[in-house]
Amino acid sequence: MSKEIFSEKKISLKPFNTFNIDVKSSEFVKIRTEQELIEALKQFSNPFVLGGGSNMLLTKDVENPVFYIQLKGISVEKQTDDFVWIKAQAGENWHEFVLYTLNQGFGGLENLSLIPGNVGTTPVQNIGAYGVEIKDIMEICHAIHIKTQEKRIFTNADCKFAYRESVFKNEEKGNYIITSVTFKLTKRNHSLNIKYGDIQKVLTEKGITNPTPTDVSQAVIFIRQSKLPDPKQIGNSGSFFKNPIIGKIKFEALQKRFPQMPFYSIDDNHIKIPAGWLIDTCGLKGYRKGDAGVHEKQALVLVNYGNASGSEILQVAHLVKNTVKEKFDIDLEFEVNIF
């Protein structure tokens, strides 16, 4: 027999999104267990799924029932001498989970330290930083189908990961709610990635020549804190734009005009350009209109200085996009989901 799930009416979502946008939800449902999720799916249709609220820009009140996912728990599924498979429930805070794995001596997640949000949304975005993405360490994730309430296990291959993309943003968009994610981590012989960004530089400055996963994590945290605003102090959602990938011929033509343009080769025919550099070169770093703006230290990040609406931040996003298009003929894509 179905148990009626309690919902709150007309709740402000300001405390539940890292942009600190004050919009209302018509219904607000806290989900603490899988069974509660199944019962809520029977009772409410077309839910708006809310986790850490870190990768979204809310531009209007949410008419659909908001499911606030608070599933908690971390467990070791299996282990060998070299590896451990560790399962985290969707409502676990991502950075706290990363620190938990490091405290156990496990390696694999250190480059993804201090990324805002919860575990359940990490496969959706295929979050990544400093040369590591979720696709590199995720084994499986468990999910529940919204319409049928059937449980399904998605393997790494099932997720069809690409740069900030997955099956959950494409053909299965809006069909599933992820309930837990299992990661394969190293217990010894850790394969550390310290080539990206300033990680090696920070380790050298600290006199660390034989780094541990925790050392790499602390370097990443130091770099992120020096460049990125804390959402608790200034509303933001981290990187707002994806780094664009362009063809080699187009890149070579641009390089003649902008020889200082930084780049990363993806393959023989594709080049990734840092979006932050493009925006900065357009003179938009630190741009502000009212309480909406581009962060003064990291042009990839749009910020809410206080009482900006989602629509005002979106206007700044379109200004950035249009300016970069005009100067470089490059189309920037939003990394943040717009609602």
H or E element in which residue 288 lies: strand 288-289
**Known active-site residue 150:** no
Distance CA 125, CA 115 (A): 12
By C-alpha distance, which of 268, 276, 267, 269 is closest to 244? 276
Residue 207 backbone zone (phi > 0: left; psi -120 to 50: alpha; other: beta): left
What are the beta bridge partners of residue 239?
301
CB atoms within 10 A of CB 134: 22
CA 8 centroid distance within chain: 27
Catalytic residue among 39, 239, 309, 312: 239
**Known active-site residue 309:** no
Distance CA 113, CA 159 (A): 22
**CB contact at 8 A, 213 and 190:** yes
CA distance between the termini of the chain: 35
Distance CA 69, CA 232 (A): 20
Scanning the structure block, which residue is given the tokens 């042009």? 299
**CB contact at 8 A, 163 and 156:** no
Catalytic residue among 39, 54, 164, 237: 164
By C-alpha distance, which of 232, 306, 313, 289 is closest to 60? 313
Distance CA 28, CA 24 (A): 9
Catalytic residue among 36, 39, 133, 335: 335
By C-alpha distance, which of 63, 98, 136, 317 is closest to 213? 98
**Known active-site residue 335:** yes
Positions annotated as catalytic residues are 164, 239, 335
